[in-house]
Amino acid sequence: MRNLKGFIAYRGTAYHGFQRQSNAVTVQEVLERCLSKVLNEPVTVNGCSRTDTGVHANRFCFNVRTSSAIPCRNLVRGVNGELPKDISFLSAEDADESFHARFNCVGKEYIYKLHCSESKNPFASDLMLHYRRPLDLDRVKMGAKQLVGTHDFASFCADCSTVSTTVRTIYSFDIENCGDTVIMLVKGNGFLYNMIRIMVGTLLDVSERRIEPEDIPSILDARDRLRAGRTAMAHGLYLNRVFYSQSELTAEDTAVPCLFV
């Protein structure tokens, strides 16, 4: 029995997240159906993350066990021929028997995209948050710095009932603008439910002077969701990378890549 490690990219607009549900179409359901057809056997996919409805992924990792001997290159080609246009099979490789896309993951990196203009971008529908107000980039960057480090992020969690601890480490929170596009790049060892979207919403409140950058430490200390800002819309969020080694996770990135605009 082979254990395959694969990567996909997907536009999450039409899906109710990654994880299979009984009453809604998800990425996992579609991926498993196409893989099973090409592998000629029913398979179950283990994903690295659930992702919410409308959230996208640039490089989502999964693993799947199969008795098929099909070469990885042929598998990628065959599955891409079956997948809908909003999901792409990027690569596949044979992995160690013990590899699990979710349980072996030591960290993730997310991108949040904003189109900052009074006019909407017709090419960014459901792919960026349309933010009509002027964005105070300096204040937003000051606020983001307060979130880097190891903290209790209970104030930035929509539902903490399913986790044993709300302490997480944010290794970097970089923000850059490319024209009207603002890119927020967040890397951490784990994220709570809606954590990134609440952090982004809070930074938008910082830009609008509803919250001061220096107030964020006290918001963290409060461990109270009501103290943090709004929850930003899901369609601006992308799972960008997943990490399976601590050295890769903690490596410093020199800049936010503009290729994601």
Catalytic site positions: 52
Rg of the chain on CA atoms, in Å: 19
Closest to 108 (Cα-Cα) out of 167, 166, 188: 188
Q: Which residues neighbour 91 within 8 Å (Cβ) at sequence distance 6 or greater?
A: 6, 7, 72, 76
Which pair of structure tokens corresponds to residue 204?
């938008």
Rounded Cα–Cα distance for residues 154 and 93 (Å): 37
Which amino acid does the sequence have at 154?
A: A
| Alpha-carbon distances of 156 from 39, 159, 225, 247, 260, rounded to whole Å | 42, 9, 6, 27, 25
Rounded Cα–Cα distance for residues 24 and 214 (Å): 42
| Alpha-carbon distances of 117 from 124, 125, 130, 207, rounded to whole Å | 12, 14, 7, 15
Query: Between vectors from CA 148 to CA 196 and to CA 53, what angle results, nearest 5°?
Result: 10
Query: What are the φ/ψ torsions at residue 177 (nearest 5 degrees)?
Result: -120, 140
Contact yes or no for 29/20 (Cβ under 8 A): yes
Rounded Cα–Cα distance for residues 233 and 218 (Å): 25
Which amino acid does the sequence have at 181?
A: T
